[in-house]
Structure 1
Amino acid sequence: MSKAFINGDIFTGEEVLSGYTLYTDGDTITDVSPESPCHSYDGEIIDCAGKTLAPGFIDIQVNGGGGVLFNDQTNADGIEAIVKAHQRFGTVAMLPTLISDSHEKIQAAITATDEAIAEKIPGVLGVHLEGPFLNPERKGVHNPEYFSALENDFVPMLSALKTGATLVTMAPEQSQPEIVKQLSNNGVLVFAGHTGASYQQTKVALNNGLKGFTHLFNAMTPMLSREPGVVGAALEDTHSWCGIIVDGYHVDNASLKVAIAAKATGKMVLVTDAMPTVGAEDKRFVLNGEEIVAKNGRCATAADTLAGSDLDMISAVNNTVKWLDVDWQEAIRMASTYPAQCLGVDHHYGFLAQGYKASFVVLDQQLNLDSVWVEASRID
């Protein structure tokens, strides 16, 4: 059924339109028009009552949600459960993310993602493989028993997804530049993370196709006066993407403000790094045999090592506005337009315009979620 969303401001991803109507048919936006529905319009009319429609959020790093950890339920049903858990918080599309695991589990994650996309589970844009090609000295909560160097033998497996984006987080010093180039040439998005690389090593990787940085600042060499490190290379580079976790725990707000000011506009992407506790009543789960507890929005082991987050995307947007003094429109772009561009899906997501997916959020003046629409269906 066609729908007409009236009496709301429309943030297109570029500008705010007042007095316009957003029309949908099926799962697609058919028009954003100053024309109101005529008397003969036979579709459903939704009164937005002065609220704001904005592009739905896209999360490129989601380990779990709704009580499900992708590593534990590595199939299409697991992906669907995670997707549904995050939809309630405005995330209309995502990359389910596998934390370092066995090669068999990596293959299972790729197969599960192919199946989820084939089954048309809304908003599954591909898969994020975070490891296991990481530096043990920057392991975070990852299990180093799974770690290995990224060698040529792994390129076919990492390039095997049939449809959608594959994002691989790796440590550049655990591989060779030509392998980064090979993966990049195969369409894989290679990000640096959990890395002890030097500035020079990172620059070489960037010159060979490295596309971004996973949870900037966390588990990587910092920027120092005479050793710029991974962080310095990331902020200097104008073409790469940086994921940031704005939860008040992973990175100090002052550091994030400086990073946003330094990085080229349009290249900062909000991520949640969410764990199964998001959208779940149970705030405990097990990872690699170790219990993780989420308390006051912070996920950590008994030894107090951060283990992902209990963050959802609408909270990340609000935190960015309130804590980092970022304009609300830019914060929404960081959660929608920019990740869509990063994944190369900005012809379907990240904007509200004719021909785009009818996947968007409706927000009140305080940026609280009023409703979420995924492919023109309201999420309850």
Structure 2
Amino acid sequence: MKIFKDNAEWIDGTIACENGKIHSITPELLTGEDVIDGQGMLVVPGFVDVHIHGLYGVDTMDDDPEALLKMAAKLPTEGTTAFLATTMTADLVDVERVLKRANEIVGKMQLNGGAELLGIHVEGPFVNPDYAGAQPKEFMVIPTRTLLEKWLSYGVIRQMTVAPERVEAELIELLTSYGVTVSVGHTSAGFEVMGDAVASGVTQMTHLANAMTGLHHREIGALGYAMLSDSIFCELIVDGHHLSREMVQLLYKVLGAERILLVTDAMRAKGLADGSYDLGGQQVAVANKKATLPGGVLAGSIISMIDEVRLMRSIISAPIEHLIQMASVNPARQIGVWNRKGSLTVGKDADFLLVDDELTLYATYCRGVRL
């Protein structure tokens, strides 16, 4: 069994867990009734999905006290061991309801509760209707300090997608002062506005190249800013629909594994059959592994994290170390949980996967519990 220790070296040996933490990683091959033989397997860090709306018929926005726990229970089947439940642009009351429910769960999940809910990614309503994508335009608003302070008081917002042309610099600074990762998306921002936003504290782009200004030879837009930057992190949805293979190859070449976060942006139809589903009160048709609104606009994805990682590998021929960087390391760093997630390090949470050389998933461990 090869273990990717500390994201630095592969060692043959044993990984031991105790009370949800990694107790030891040793070259010794232990035996006993509590030891699982992973001969021929690779042990890698669990995936961290910082942008997921739903799966298996459940959505973050559902008026169901168990919705977030149902999401957590299902995510280990695709190798995700921690996640940010992501909201839709919706009535402010509905968004706040999600924050209240998350407040009751975050930090209090049992060790056998599935993937850990780390907090909430608020995607909208502070975005631009001209770049709405699948976000309902009628609920888009410009934020006030009073509103943001109220939402931040729940202590669960870890990431927020904003259009910086609609959010004042002092409010971006407020969010970052609370440790929130501010990500630009659904935006008309050009190069100059992006520069101002980054100066205010923006560190990330939401589903890069989708729902934002693109490259032009006289104005390289938000996409161009991200590509030219040497520091901003970028979500990518690699599902075969949101980005062409060539675009994925280009972005990987320019950004490198060091600045890419693989996210699913999945909606409730993930894991279910083709058909008609709901996303933020909108009808979504799912067919041929693609989710669209009636006009043909993409409505999130239905890809699993393990499938996305495998697809990324096939497109860019990346070594597994780079895939771990994009699916585990970078997300954990960006949302401030690197001290306990994202690598197989003694003392960190025992979140890891057993896979083979083809990245077939054999087992998922969430804080030491096989799920």
Q: TM-score, normalised by structure 1?
A: 0.92
Amino acid at match of 1:87: P
After superposition, the C-alpha distances for 1:166-219 in whole angstroms (9 at most, x for unaligned) are 211110111211211122122221111000011100110000001211000000
Counterpart of 1:144 in structure 2 is 137
Matched, 1:99 2:88: yes
**Structure-1 separation of matches of 2:272 and 2:73:** 11
Gaps of 5+ in 1: 1-7
Residues 243-322 of structure 1 correspond to what in structure 2 (within 5 A)?
243-263=235-255, 265-281=257-273, 283-322=275-314
**Structure-2 separation of matches of 1:283 and 1:54:** 35
Matched, 1:57 2:50: no
Counterparts in 2 of 1:168 and 1:326: CA distance versus 1, 3 Å? same
**Structure-1 separation of matches of 2:172 and 2:198:** 9
Question: 286-295 or 229-238, which moves further after superposition?
Answer: 286-295
Amino acid at match of 1:365: D
Aligned residue for 2:83, secondary structure, equals: strand
Counterpart of 1:330 in structure 2 is 322
**Structure-1 separation of matches of 2:12 and 2:62:** 48
Counterparts in 2 of 1:111 and 1:289: CA distance versus 1, 3 Å? closer
Matched, 1:193 2:185: yes
Aligned residue for 2:337, secondary structure, equals: coil
After superposition, the C-alpha distances for 1:237-257 in whole angstroms (9 at most, x for unaligned) are 222211000011001121122
**Structure-2 separation of matches of 1:237 and 1:154:** 31
Matched, 1:215 2:207: yes
Would you say the 8 A contact 2:7–2:344 is kept in 1? no
Counterpart of 2:357 in structure 1 is 365
**Structure-2 separation of matches of 1:328 and 1:223:** 30
Q: CA deviation at 1:282?
A: 6.4
Q: CA deviation at 1:264?
A: 5.5
Q: CA deviation at 1:150?
A: 2.5
Matched, 1:134 2:127: yes
Would you say the 8 A contact 2:107–2:118 is kept in 1? no
Q: CA deviation at 1:74?
A: 5.5
Counterpart of 1:27 in structure 2 is 20
Residues 172-183 of structure 1 correspond to what in structure 2 (within 5 A)?
172-183=164-175
Would you say the 8 A contact 1:137–1:196 is kept in 2? yes
Counterpart of 1:11 in structure 2 is 4
Question: 262-271 or 136-145, which moves further after superposition?
Answer: 262-271
Aligned residue for 2:295, secondary structure, equals: coil
Q: CA deviation at 1:354?
A: 0.6
Aligned residue for 2:7, secondary structure, equals: coil
Would you say the 8 A contact 2:274–2:287 is kept in 1? no
Q: CA deviation at 1:230?
A: 0.5
Aligned residue for 1:191, secondary structure, equals: strand
After superposition, the C-alpha distances for 1:48-81 in whole angstroms (9 at most, x for unaligned) are 0211010000000010012111112353x10111
Counterparts in 2 of 1:135 and 1:319: CA distance versus 1, 3 Å? same
**Structure-1 separation of matches of 2:280 and 2:10:** 49
Counterpart of 1:78 in structure 2 is 67
**Structure-1 separation of matches of 2:45 and 2:326:** 11
Residues 108-123 of structure 1 correspond to what in structure 2 (within 5 A)?
108-120=97-109, 121=113, 122-123=115-116
Would you say the 8 A contact 2:274–2:286 is kept in 1? no
**Structure-1 separation of matches of 2:73 and 2:331:** 19
Residues 232-251 of structure 1 correspond to what in structure 2 (within 5 A)?
232-251=224-243
Q: CA deviation at 1:350?
A: 0.8
Q: CA deviation at 1:296?
A: 2.0
Structure 2 counterpart of 1:124, from 117, 120, 129: 117
Q: CA deviation at 1:313?
A: 0.3
Would you say the 8 A contact 1:165–1:343 is kept in 2? no
Q: CA deviation at 1:345?
A: 0.8
Question: 55-64 or 13-22, which moves further after superposition?
Answer: 13-22
- RMSD (Å), alpha carbons: 1.7
Counterpart of 2:217 in structure 1 is 225
Amino acid at match of 1:308: G
Q: CA deviation at 1:9?
A: 0.7
Question: 286-295 or 326-335, which moves further after superposition?
Answer: 286-295
Amino acid at match of 1:147: M
Aligned residue for 1:318, secondary structure, equals: helix
**Structure-2 separation of matches of 1:22 and 1:56:** 14
Q: CA deviation at 1:118?
A: 4.6
Counterpart of 2:198 in structure 1 is 206
